[in-house]
């Protein structure tokens, strides 16, 4: 696939970030850009050029939300590995609709800065942008994040930020480099920006339920779509078009989707990490090559140093009840935090209402806008948000549960974080040979 030429990218009008100037400082192999001045963007009227990497459903949404967050935001460049995805996202974003005002659509100024192929992330980051939205498949996030921070860009990074421990270690290094350089990294754990959730979790932390003795979070939903193989697709294209179902691309659904609920478990526990995890899991209702190698259910038991035991279960099976709530148990009572409805009753054991969240389902749509508003406001203020370490830890919690489920072993935090198992090939080409697809078997699959 040929990417359009990048020859016409104009010089930056003024230096807002210090991407071109690097110090000799190195963090985990990263070259750390010089810190961004706290005065950058302080005028409030300056244009902030945004680049989008990964132009699928979430990437398109993130671009809409970035444009809505700040009137100075201009969508400047877009990149995708597939031209059809890029073209449809560009058409959607350029056309006024219920989601996009005409004024916002007019700020889509991508012109020929539309890049296709495996290097499109570099072309977007190098196109003169100030902020990048990293929304491609999870396996590419550590690489894209590292390159963006090395080039001095602020980042919105969709969850999950990695699919394996080497990826998490890279992201943790990048998070530290971004802090040193005063660059933003906001990880797309959107529930952390949901107003009614924030209120409910504040009550948990402030002791409305007493001391937390256990937490159980759920993400029980239906299965995801399958895209049958096309005659002109290579094996790599087939797997990428069905990326949710291949562990190396997505991390499996406990890492890709249910990680939101693993993150809320961490939130309830004050972002302390567990000592170890056991996890049951398997594949009961999935068949067919499009379903790749992933499981369809997991049930994780996290043990904490203080003796607290927490649980997370997730399922992607059709015709079964859905549940996406956080059940918090404390010495004074129990709470059910329901992000979807915003209703979060907290009651004593004898049924007395201790607090009742009165959010609404509208908070769910709003949180995606709010996370971008907070991101761009922090960049303008010169105090960029960086929640990357916290986000990476939550993703690691999900990865360690997957490792425990695949192998059938109890896995400690240290074992998981230091794991050498690298799922992502160093380089990709459309005609490459991929390893045989094998569904893991607990008790047989080795812990690496
Ligand atoms: N926070 C949320 O609520 C939420 C919701 C949905 C998805 N997500 C996350 O957003 C990410 C994207 O999910 P999606 O639903 O948009 O998937 P998607 O398949 O609709 O979009 C992903 C896009 O990335 C492109 N892509 C893949 N590899 C690329 C590469 N190397 N370079 C450039 N482009 C590449 C794909 O072609 C595709 O267009 C995932 O990490 C997912 O977990 C988050």
**Probe ligand 1: pick from 117, 132, 135, max atoms within 8 Å of CB?**
135
Which protein residue's CA is at the shortest distance from atom 4 of ligand 1? Answer: 58
pLDDT given for residue 287 in this prediction: 86
Q: Which two tokens stand for residue 141?
A: 């996030």
Q: Which residues of the chain have pLDDT under 70?
A: 1-32, 34-45
Cis peptide before 160 (omega within 30 of 0): yes
Dist CA 149 CA 309 (whole Å): 37
Question: Rounded to two decimals, what is the model's pTM?
Answer: 0.93
Whole-number Å distance, alpha carbon 57 to ligand 1 midpoint, is 7
pLDDT given for residue 101 in this prediction: 93
Task: Encode burial over 164-175: b for 16+ CB neighbours within 10 A, e otherwise.
Answer: bbbbbbbbbbbb
Q: Is the CB of 371 under 6 A from ligand 1?
A: no
Whole-number Å distance, alpha carbon 139 to ligand 1 midpoint, is 10
Q: Is the CB of 138 under 6 A from ligand 1?
A: yes
Sign of the four-CA dihedral 283, 298, 135, 397: negative
pLDDT given for residue 340 in this prediction: 86
- Can you state the angle between helices 195-206 and 259-268, rounded to 10 degrees? 40
pLDDT given for residue 33 in this prediction: 73
**Nearest partner of 281 among 304, 306, 301, 256, judged by Cα:** 301
Residue 149 burial (C-beta neighbours within 10 Å; 0-12, 13-18, 19+): buried
- Which atom of ligand 1 is closest in space to residue 58's alpha carbon? 16
Q: Is the CB of 244 under 6 A from ligand 1?
A: no
Task: Encode burial over 367-382: b for 16+ CB neighbours within 10 A, e otherwise.
Answer: bbbbbbbbbbebbbee
Q: Which two tokens stand for residue 263?
A: 């993150």
Q: Following CA atoms 96, 102, 103, 108 in sequence, which dihedral angle do they give, to the nearest 10 degrees? A: 40
Whole-number Å distance, alpha carbon 24 to ligand 1 midpoint, is 34
Q: Which residues contact 10 (CB under 8 A, 6 or more apart)?
A: 128
Whole-number Å distance, alpha carbon 59 to ligand 1 midpoint, is 6
pLDDT given for residue 37 in this prediction: 63
pLDDT given for residue 288 in this prediction: 87
Domain range list for the chain: 22-191+372-387, 196-362+394-417
Assigned fold of 22-191+372-387: Rossmann fold (3.40.50)
Q: Which residues contact 428 (CB under 8 A, 6 or more apart)?
A: 118, 236
Select from 1.20.1260.10, 3.30.360.10, 2.40.30.110, 3.90.960.10 the CATH code of 196-362+394-417.
3.30.360.10
Dist CA 362 CA 164 (whole Å): 34
pLDDT given for residue 42 in this prediction: 59
Whole-number Å distance, alpha carbon 274 to ligand 1 midpoint, is 29
- Partners of 348 in the beta sheet? 333
**Probe ligand 1: pick from 3, 55, 58, 371, max atoms within 8 Å of CB?**
58
**Probe ligand 1: pick from 51, 53, 54, 134, max atoms within 8 Å of CB?**
54
Secondary structure, 3-state, the chain: CCCCCCCCCCCCCCCCCCCCCEEEEEECCEEEECCCCCCCCCCCCCCEEEEEECCCHHHHHHHHHHHHHCCCEEEEEEEECCHHHHHHHHHHHHCCCCCCCHHHHCCECCCCCEEECCCHHHHHHCCCCCEEEECCCHHHHHHHHHHHHHCCCEEEECCCCCCCHHHHHHHHHHHHHHHHCCCCEEECCHHHHCHHHHHHHHHHHHCCCCCEEEEEEEEEECCCCCCCCCCCCCHHHHHHHCHHHCHHHHCCHHHHCCHHHHHHHHHHCCCCCCCEEEEEEECCCCCCHHHCCCCCEEEEEEECCCCCEEEEEEEECCCCCCECCEEEEECCEEEEECCCCCEEEEEECCCCEEEEEECCCHHHHHHHHHHHHHHHHHHHHCCCCECHHHHHHHHHHHHHHHHHHHHCCCEEHHHHHCCCCCCCCCCCCCCCCCCCCCCCCCCCCCCC
């Amino acid at each position: 696939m040929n990417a359009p030429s990048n020859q016409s990218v104009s010089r930056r009008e003024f230096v807002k970030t210090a991407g071109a100037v690097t110090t000799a400082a190195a963090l985990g192999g990263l070259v750390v850009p010089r810190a961004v001045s706290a005065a950058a963007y302080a005028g409030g009227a300056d244009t902030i050029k945004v680049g989008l990497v990964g132009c699928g459903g979430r990437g398109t949404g993130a671009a809409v939300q970035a444009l809505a967050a700040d009137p100075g935001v201009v969508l400047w460049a877009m990149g995708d590995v597939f031209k059809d995805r890029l073209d449809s996202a560009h058409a959607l974003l350029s056309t006024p609709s219920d989601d996009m005002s005409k004024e916002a659509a007019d700020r889509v100024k991508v012109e020929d800065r539309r890049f296709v192929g495996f290097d499109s992330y570099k072309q977007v980051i190098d196109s003169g942008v100030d902020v990048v939205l990293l929304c491609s498949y999870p396996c590419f996030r550590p690489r894209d994040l590292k390159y963006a921070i090395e080039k001095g860009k602020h980042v919105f990074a969709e969850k999950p930020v990695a699919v394996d421990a080497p990826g998490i270690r890279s992201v943790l290094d990048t998070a530290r480099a971004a802090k040193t350089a005063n660059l933003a990294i906001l990880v797309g754990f959107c529930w952390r920006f949901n107003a009614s959730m924030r209120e409910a979790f504040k009550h948990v932390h402030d002791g409305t339920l007493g001391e937390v003795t256990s937490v159980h979070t759920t993400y029980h939903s239906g299965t995801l779509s399958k895209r049958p193989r096309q005659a002109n697709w290579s094996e790599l294209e087939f797997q990428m078009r069905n990326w949710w179902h291949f562990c190396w691309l997505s991390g499996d659904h406990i890492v890709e989707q249910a990680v939101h609920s693993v993150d809320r478990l961490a939130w309830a526990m004050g972002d302390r990490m567990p000592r170890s995890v056991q996890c049951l899991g398997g594949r009961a209702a999935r068949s067919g090559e499009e379903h790749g190698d992933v499981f369809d259910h997991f049930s994780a038991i996290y043990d904490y140093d203080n003796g607290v035991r927490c649980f997370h279960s997730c399922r992607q099976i059709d015709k079964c009840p859905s549940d996406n709530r956080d059940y918090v148990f404390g010495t004074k009572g129990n709470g059910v935090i329901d992000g979807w409805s915003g209703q979060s009753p907290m009651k004593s054991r004898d049924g007395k209402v201790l607090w009742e969240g009165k959010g609404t389902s509208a908070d769910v749509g709003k949180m995606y806008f709010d996370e971008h508003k907070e991101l761009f406001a922090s960049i303008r203020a010169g105090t960029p948000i960086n929640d990357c370490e916290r986000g990476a830890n939550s993703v690691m919690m999900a990865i360690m549960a997957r490792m425990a489920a695949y192998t059938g072993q109890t896995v400690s935090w240290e074992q998981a974080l230091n794991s050498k198992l690298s799922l992502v090939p160093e380089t990709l080409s459309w005609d490459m040979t991929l390893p045989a697809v094998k569904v893991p078997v607990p008790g047989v699959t080795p812990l690496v």
